[in-house]
Chain A
Amino acid sequence: GGIITQTPKFLIGQEGQKLTLKCQQNFNHDTMYWYRQDSGKGLRLIYYSITENDLQKGDLSEGYDASREKKSSFSLTVTSAQKNEMAVFLCASSISDWGGDGQLYFGEGSKLTVL
């Protein structure tokens, strides 16, 4: 089995600050994802990457940047933190041969608080 590790688990920042979340996976999966989870709104896709150095925007990419410099890691940057984006950010990975029936493996999440 493998594991997805997200750091930090809790991140507190000031409004307007640039903040970065990191994710590491040892499944050897090609595809990685960042989701945002707000209470009552389910999971919404921010960015995903199908291979090293590839980046694809999801529905919620505005205000975020992502970076995939290695196969095993995927970072997400909040470019200017706002109070209305306090949420839990979830990283996930999956096999590359998608076909619509792949399983996502999730990390435990990083909770962002903006003061």
Chain B
Amino acid sequence: SQLAEENSWALSVHEGESVTVNCSYKTSITALQWYRQKSGKGPAQLILIRSNEREKRNGRLRATLDTSSQSSSLSITATRCEDTAVYFCASGTQVVGQLTFGRGTRLQVYA
């Protein structure tokens, strides 16, 4: 069963627009991570937000975490074509090997 899940299969926006990817998870976590995977590449971490944090920023990226609703969001502002990728959330506990990935949201940014 999926212990972390993004809420949209695919999103598309035009360059310059903002977009938000949402994620829900099912267990008590230590941290929630967001990864991006471009075509033909492995996933790369974008942001890590710990369970005692509510918001984290990294340039044009902003992640939020709501432990009461067990949900997280990743917002991208001023999108660029190179933001086209699959975005995964991953929920983690203190146990090695328990980082659980969602199915991913495919984002297409059009020029």
Contact = CB atoms under 8 A, between A and B. Distances in A.
B42 interface: yes
Contacts of B42: 4, 90, 92, 106-109
B96 A101 contact: no
Contact of A104 (B94, B95, B99): B99
Contact of B96 (A31, A41, A44, A109): A31
B48 A101 contact: yes
Contacts of B25: none
Contacts, number: 65
Interface residues of B, number: 29
Instruction: Say whether chain B's binding surface is mostly helix, strand, loop, or mixed.
Output: loop
Interface residues of A, number: 28
A90 B29 contact: no
B33 A99 contact: no
Given A48-B96, A100-B30, A108 B41 contact: yes
B94 A99 contact: yes
Interface stretch (B13-21, B58-66, B68-76, B100-108): B100-108
Contact of A100 (B40, B43, B94): B94
